[in-house]
Structure 1
Amino acid sequence: MLNAATHYSIDYPDLSLILALVRGGTLARAAALLRVDVSTVFRAVRRLEAALGQTLFEKSRAGYLPTSLASNLAQQAERAEQALEAARVGVEQGGEVISGTVRLTCTDSVLQGLLLPALAQFMPQYPALTLELSMSNDFANLSRRDADIALRLTRTPPEHLVGRRVGSVAYQVFASPGFARQHAGRELADLPWIAPDDFLPDHPTVAWRREHLPGVRPSYRCNSMLSVTELVRAGLGVAALPDFLLDEGLQPLGPALAGHDTALWLLTRPDCRALRSVVTLFDELGRYLRLP
């Protein structure tokens, strides 16, 4: 059987078949993706496995489970699919097309408050560009090459990364409008506080609270700043939040926290500057990211 694999040249329809079954997980869903009937998919898989001399899928109660070979071929199929789409877009637009996959990491609060509005303005211009988003607070994402671009709130980005400072970010104590009316006149130390848990022990808001309200013990601790924000919007208490999250659901209870501001940095690895897809996304983000 191994000899058969040496004489068979896999082609794009084969990759499309594998990708459809990996995505669908069942013959019926794969058939729907390929717009053929179930028996056609079944026979095509059997023929391809015989031609390759290797098993591509294991049948189980859950459906068709891909082997490691099928998973690897499905990844190649996705790249071929992206390349084909880029070629089609290039023909339609009559020019060079930016294509490929760029991996971007940022915090959930930066995603919600800053990144999404920016992406909505320019990403439709790049239909062949695929963006993989990862929510993280860790610079090591870039260091480990798990990401190509990072948006980070910091005063001192790592020296081994390159990038630009997008602007300053201040923090303020916020409450929901209803909570603010209900507790008007009360001291901040007497209010229920919402704060990040130990995943951000050195966060500027944590440092400020320890310095100015050392006796406060938060009533709620969350593992993300976006979760902190949502609890504040729900009227459960107050929290120190970045000013770019201010909207109609939040009301500031005082001025910016003096001495505890930070900056938003757009960062990448030096080796990524040779990749047109990364450079394009980097430049567009630098153009469209807007701070208050």
Structure 2
Amino acid sequence: MLILGAHYRLAFTHSILAFSQVINAATHYQLDYPDLALILALVRGGSLARASQLLKVDVSTVFRAVRRLEAALGQQLFEKSRAGYLPTTLAQSLAEQAERAEQALEAARIGVEQGGEVISGIVRLTCTDSVLQGLLLPALAQFMPNYPALTLELSTSNDFANLSRRDADIALRLTRTPPEHLVGRRLADISYRVCASERYLQSVNTTDLASLTWIAPDDFLPDHPTVSWRRQTLPGVTPGYRCNSMLSVTELVRAGLGVAALPDFLIGDGLRPLGEPLHGYDTVLWLLTRPDCRALRSVVTLFDELGRALKLP
């Protein structure tokens, strides 16, 4: 028998109460966990056949269970179409709550297995796609397996608006001037170097940078350090390629289409720097969060782990 600790009983109780609040007050039917599991399976599967596989029952059992539940609630949960079973707003809301209960139950099971409380919950993290690829993914691979009950939601963006709007809990940003309303840690200085692929270098003369084909961020990143450097140092150069992310710039350089100033953490195999770092155009990697998030154990845990894993020399 699974015996839940007080912390998990409370979290699970809150989840069940949240489910009940979604239901019209006029109905007296009391939802239970099998009802929620049924709704979640059909939302995830999109069809009776797939839901029956997820629930490990036959198709007719799922069909009858859905019909009974809709009759008991007095509300339609799914609309049948050629695309499958489409959830109504009510079913979608219940499915989202069911996922939270599923996560709470999984955290409780892990806690019992490990003999103590575990870090659980959802943490939303935002960063640029270049930081995600070059820095964050290797860091997550180091420590996330130690937190099986922690769910991480990742989004890529180039601004701080998500933290200000509370769309994210943690941000990794390259900037010299982080917003004053955020708190965080300065992790590393990041420099940029002009780079090209070995293949491209075989056919050009690198002594004249202005004669090379340049790849650069587009107007989506007008204040990027590499844009400022190029306009100051090579004012007559018009890039042959423009991209809306530094990761895309890097991939074009790797494909042998030209040269670009790249952050040092994206300069890997197959790319060769053409000189020293761009003096005066370096930036800083910051790990940032909102002051109110410091009270959330899940956020603090992830923040501390990232701080250790991303501390560059």
Q: TM-score, normalised by structure 2?
A: 0.91
1:125 Cα deviation (Å)?
Answer: 0.1
Q: Which residue of 2 aligns with 1:252?
A: 273
Q: Which amino acid aligns with 1:190?
A: S
Equivalent pair of 2:206/2:212 in contact (CA under 8 Å): no
Q: TM-score, normalised by structure 1?
A: 0.97
1:290 Cα deviation (Å)?
Answer: 4.2
Q: Which amino acid aligns with 2:144?
A: M
Asked whether 1:49 is paired with 2:49, we answer no
Paired with 1:174 and 1:49, the residues of 2 have a C-alpha distance of 62
Matches within 5 A, 1:11-50: 11-50=32-71
Paired with 2:311 and 2:202, the residues of 1 have a C-alpha distance of 30
Q: Which amino acid aligns with 1:172?
A: R
Question: What SS does the corresponding residue of 1:7 show, helix, strand or coil?
Answer: coil
State the 4+ residue runs in structure 1 displaced beyond 4 angstroms.
2-5
Asked whether 1:132 is paired with 2:153, we answer yes
Equivalent pair of 2:143/2:305 in contact (CA under 8 Å): yes
Paired with 2:206 and 2:143, the residues of 1 have a C-alpha distance of 45
Equivalent pair of 1:171/1:257 in contact (CA under 8 Å): yes
How many residue pairs were aligned?
A: 291
Matches within 5 A, 1:1-292: 6-291=27-312
Paired with 2:24 and 2:305, the residues of 1 have a C-alpha distance of 50
| Runs of 5+ unmatched residues, structure 1 | none
1:113 Cα deviation (Å)?
Answer: 0.5
C-alpha RMSD of matched pairs (Å)? 1.4
Paired with 1:287 and 1:228, the residues of 2 have a C-alpha distance of 29
1:147 Cα deviation (Å)?
Answer: 0.4
Paired with 1:185 and 1:239, the residues of 2 have a C-alpha distance of 12
Q: Which amino acid aligns with 2:243?
A: C
1:133 Cα deviation (Å)?
Answer: 0.3
Paired with 2:104 and 2:206, the residues of 1 have a C-alpha distance of 61
Paired with 1:119 and 1:82, the residues of 2 have a C-alpha distance of 20
1:3 Cα deviation (Å)?
Answer: 8.9
Paired with 2:304 and 2:90, the residues of 1 have a C-alpha distance of 37
| Runs of 5+ unmatched residues, structure 2 | 1-22
Q: Which residue of 1 aligns with 2:19?
A: none
Identical columns (%): 82
Question: What SS does the corresponding residue of 1:168 show, helix, strand or coil?
Answer: strand
